[in-house]
């Protein structure tokens, strides 16, 4: 990312957010640096920009929200990125998590079902100088098989069950983080494949996300 293009007017608020994340237990310096490098206020509508660095979800239009930074921090911690991974993100949304992922991995492929959001996110990310992100507008519940396998897959919408096509697109040693459930209750699940392709699942937190659309989602 071209740091010279980042508006510094919210710098104090951004640093306050980072200290809050650190106080809540986030110790990974690479993740903290990513939050410091990516200007969240540039990924939300002007009307709510003054709340950009609060640990709250904010509306971004089309019935979608940008998750609170604490939730993004959890997802990034679960992804356990070392810098050389190929990542698939399902649900680009504002593009903020996409940018954080791009700071922490080799390349991010991201799919957004709302074309208008995909277009705005691409414009923002290009404007910030990212060169390791590939975006596509379309239904992402079946993944993006043309670019598989992925070391990490993050899904930003809740599925009725862990979608088998996403498991099939994981590389050995890969991780899938996905909310599973409906409006009655959701759980954040991390699926891991060991080097021999054996699958394990763990429930790591409660969750509340919009429903995943498409064949592997809620329709």
Q: What is the pLDDT of residues 160-200, one digit of tens each?
A: 999 999 999 999 999 999 999 998 899 999 999 998 889 99
Average pLDDT over residues 47-69: 95
- Which of 7-11, 85-89, 145-149, 155-159 is the least confident region? 7-11
Spatial distance between the Cα atoms of 135 and 138, rounded to a whole number of angstroms:
10
Spatial distance between the Cα atoms of 6 and 128, rounded to a whole number of angstroms:
7
Q: What is the DSSP letter of 49?
A: G
Spatial distance between the Cα atoms of 185 and 207, rounded to a whole number of angstroms:
8
Say if strands 86-90 and 170-182 run parallel, antiparallel, or are unpaired. Answer: unpaired
Please name which of 203, 198, 200 lies closest in space to residue 180, comparing C-alpha atoms.
203
Average pLDDT over residues 195-219: 91
9 is catalytic: no
Spatial distance between the Cα atoms of 87 and 143, rounded to a whole number of angstroms:
11
Containing 179, the helix (H) or strand (E) segment is strand 170-182
> In this predicted structure, what is the pLDDT of residue 126?
96
For residue 205, give Cα distances in angstroms to 23, 71, 75, 189, 191. Answer: 19, 10, 10, 8, 13
Residue that the structure tokens 């809540």 belong to: 24
Which candidate in 8, 52, 67, 105 is catalytic? Answer: 67
pTM: 0.94
Spatial distance between the Cα atoms of 6 and 161, rounded to a whole number of angstroms:
39
- Does the structure show a pLDDT above 70 at 7? no
Question: pLDDT tens digits, residue range 69-95?
Answer: 999 999 999 999 999 999 999 999 999
> In this predicted structure, what is the pLDDT of residue 6?
56
Inter-residue contact 90 to 192 (CB < 8 Å): no
């Amino acid at each position: 990312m071209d740091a010279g293009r980042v508006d510094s007017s919210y710098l104090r608020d951004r640093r306050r957010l980072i200290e809050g994340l650190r106080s809540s237990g986030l110790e990974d310096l690479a993740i903290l640096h990513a939050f410091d490098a990516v200007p969240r206020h540039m990924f939300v509508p002007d009307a709510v920009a003054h709340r950009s660095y609060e640990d709250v979800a904010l509306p971004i239009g089309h019935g979608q929200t940008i998750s609170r930074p604490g939730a993004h921090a959890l997802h990034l911690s679960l992804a356990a990125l070392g810098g050389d991974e190929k990542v698939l993100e399902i649900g680009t949304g504002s593009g903020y998590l996409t940018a954080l992922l791009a700071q922490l991995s080799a390349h991010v492929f991201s799919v957004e079902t709302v074309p208008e959001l995909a277009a705005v996110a691409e414009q923002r990310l290009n404007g910030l100088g990212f060169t390791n992100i590939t975006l596509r507008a379309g239904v992402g519940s079946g993944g993006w098989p043309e670019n598989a396998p992925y070391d990490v897959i993050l899904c930003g919408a809740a599925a009725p069950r862990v979608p088998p096509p996403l498991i099939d697109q994981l590389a050995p040693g890969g991780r899938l983080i996905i909310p599973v459930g409906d409006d009655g209750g959701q759980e954040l699940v991390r699926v891991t494949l060991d080097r021999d392709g054996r699958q394990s699942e763990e429930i790591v937190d409660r969750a509340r996300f919009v429903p995943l659309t498409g064949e592997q989602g809620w329709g």
